[in-house]
Chain A
Amino acid sequence: MLGIKWLENREDKWRNFESEAMPFLPDLFRTAMWLARNRDEAEDLVQETMFQAMRSFHSYQMGTNCKAWLTRILYVQNVRRLRKMLKLKLVQDVDDEIAHTIPFEPQIPSEISDEEVIAAIGRLPEIYRIVLVLADIEELSYKEISSIVDIPMGTVMSRLSRGRRVLRIELADYASRHGFGDQEKAAAR
């Protein structure tokens, strides 16, 4: 009887994990792609994350945002992965440097393709990119991002603000180089 009860508990735990965590697999993969920039490595990262999440599922508080909880594990796994690959570079906090080099906020022409938008996000400095991805694509709150990336909320806000600005400038620059947006500017005048 004990054995059967124990099996039922495992079945229950799996069902809870399946219903709470598995629906976020596509979202998790998207974030993993931003972190790993390679499909095979993103899949490995998601797999490691999900196995880790299942082992730690007892620490998840039901009713809280499971996507944020999983994303935190994904982020930690990625840091471990980078350390293991000895590719972890010390990232200088270039916040101030960039903040002083942003003179204006241009309009973004609509002709720019989705591919160029994605490429421009990919070119963002990593410290801005991850915050922008979590806020604007994955729609996580400042508080959740602060917990995932392990930085204060004020830093989340400033990095997001600067990341968005850099992205606007990148896309406006691309548009002007390719002659997009001239008609919109003329119409605005």
Chain B
Amino acid sequence: MSRPIATTRSATGIPTGRLALWWIVFSEIVIFGGLLGSYIMHRIGHPEWAYDAIHTNTMAGAVNTFVLLTSSLMAVLAHQAAERGDGKRAAKFLYWTVLGAVAFLVIKGFEWHHEIVDLGYVLTTSGFWSFYYIAAGLHGVHVIGGAIIMLFVAHDAKKGKELQRVEYIGIYWHFVDLVWIFLFPLLYIAK
């Protein structure tokens, strides 16, 4: 269907899609903020959780942080290409970003497999582990969702269509990276 005129207007000067993404980021800040705030309160109030936290795999967490930072770089390079109207190049960088998402999920898959199957740390093992799996899990769900949408945007961008969406999915992606930037010290370093 054709786009309504409403979508093309911009009384604020910010393109509609980008404005929407900032509001999405805002709503996600309060969702993750609520979850992580609750976690922090418990973590400080329950010093015995340190005995659980010591078992998180800092190397896996650090590598994953590196992976996400690099995928963010790919996303912003995609944005730059889209700015110049080069849809093919933008799509290429978006595919690299998705590859980063896949790498993140694979590493996490191995990490969790070891923790769950080999070491026996499951969701119900303790309060720490409950929060650990839910926080990282919610983040992972956002990684998966973002990667899927990114594939659709890349598909259009390759054909030179809807190039502005490269920036928008990029903003979402950087936010997913930002959440991890805080999850990493909270779950892997604060021991």
A and B held together in a complex: no
> B interface vs A, CB < 8 Å?
none
> A interface vs B, CB < 8 Å?
none
